[in-house]
Amino acid sequence: MPCGTAGTVKAVPQDILEELGAQIILGNTYHLYLRPGHEIVRNLGGLHRFMSWERALLTDSGGFQVFSLSGLRKVTEQGVHFRSHLDGTSHLFTPERSIEIQIALGADIIMAFDECTEHPAERSRVRESMEMTLRWARRSKVYFESHKNEVPWAEKWNSEFPNTEQNTEIQLKPGPGTGQPGPTQALFGIVQGGMHADLRRESAERTVEMGFAGYAIGGLSVGEPRAQTLEMIAAALEVLPLDRPRYVMGVGYPDEIVQYAAMGVDMMDCVLPTRAARHGLLFTSEGRLNIKNLRFAQDLGPLDPQCGCKVCARYSRAYLRHLFVSREPLAGALNTLHNLRFYLDTMRAVRHAISLGDFSGTLLGRVSMT
């Protein structure tokens, strides 16, 4: 899932995202709450309509962003007090408030409010944090269950798909552009537990007991070695049900997302393809390259000869390097377009391999070189 932090995948217009085949993108609750404000988005019909994106959307709970504001935040049982990075004003996110905001934004998938445990942390601290995430998950769910019909597009949906005798169950109505059930949102729970496999399993078990539409594994890719990331994902996957989406948050490099998919992960998001692109780091079938490197100054070849994207079809490495070192805005746009295509192609290859019933072997081999 490409990250569309503030209602935009930076530097990429929505029609290009559609062309690239993005099926779902992320929005960040923290950013949209501060600017333009969730009530404005609600009044405009929700985030889909506001940003003109008919495909699926997922919003995070805002938790991860506020936890990243070290020094500007204070965590209590009630929630997280924080100061805006924009103007220093004080705010409070609680599980109830996070869900209220996410309902107003109206994404198809919304996330329970959790605490992303810092790393490294003592075991006792990890348990304490995990227990609070479980209590917050329950509060998130309770609030969601009693407010889930307040989603901004519910009214429009009900008028387009009126309740008839044949259609009294809301589950029979299609979701917004996704073919999924509507007209409400899907709330996902989040597994925490730091770098302790047993706590990960326990967190997963107790989150599943509460019953969510899908399950995320959070608090990874926070500086731990990759072997540990794999171990934590494996521990949670042992417990998470196969018939619900399983989502690892905030990962990873192209070879990592293939590996996680091979383990049974269904969804992933990462700022890496878009953020790296803006810094000139490009992912190709021949490995990573840094476009500002002098060796590309007179290279008329395409960025990636294997890539079918518009950028690789039209522009040379020399031109892309020139745009980047000249700090032309087009550099960010073109680099992002290519990186997103590379990531989305990678996942398309994964889905294709799964449909052919041949996954872990050949495909892992093909992508691991990146």
Residues designated catalytic: 60, 269
Q: Check the CA dihedral 98-103-104-105 and report its sign.
A: positive
* Closest distance to Zn ion from the beta carbon of 307 (Å): 3
Q: Do the beta carbons of residue 244 and residue 212 sit within 8 Å? A: yes
- The helix-helix angle for 123-147 and 95-105 (nearest 10°) equals 50
Q: Which is nearer to Zn ion, 119 or 275 (CB)?
A: 275
Helices (H), the chain: 14-20, 29-34, 38-43, 47-51, 63-68, 95-105, 123-147, 154-160, 197-210, 226-239, 254-263, 272-278, 310-314, 317-325, 329-356, 360-367
Q: Minimum distance between the CB of residue 44 and Zn ion, rounded to whole angstroms?
A: 34
Least CB distance from residue 344 to Zn ion, whole Å?
11
CA-based end-to-end distance of the chain: 19
Structure tokens at 304: 């990636």
C-alpha pair distances (Å), 310 with each of 105, 283, 305, 307, 340: 32, 15, 12, 9, 12
126 or 303, CB closer to Zn ion? Answer: 303
CB of 338 to Zn ion, least distance (A): 4
Pair 91, 81: CB distance under 8 Å: yes
Minimum separation from the CB atom of position 284 to Zn ion (A): 8
Write out the residues near Zn ion by the rule CB under 5 A. Answer: 307, 309, 311-312, 338
Name which of 92 and 313 has its Cβ closer to Zn ion. 313
Nearer Cβ to Zn ion (188/343):
343
- Of 3 and 277, which has the nearer Cβ to Zn ion? 277
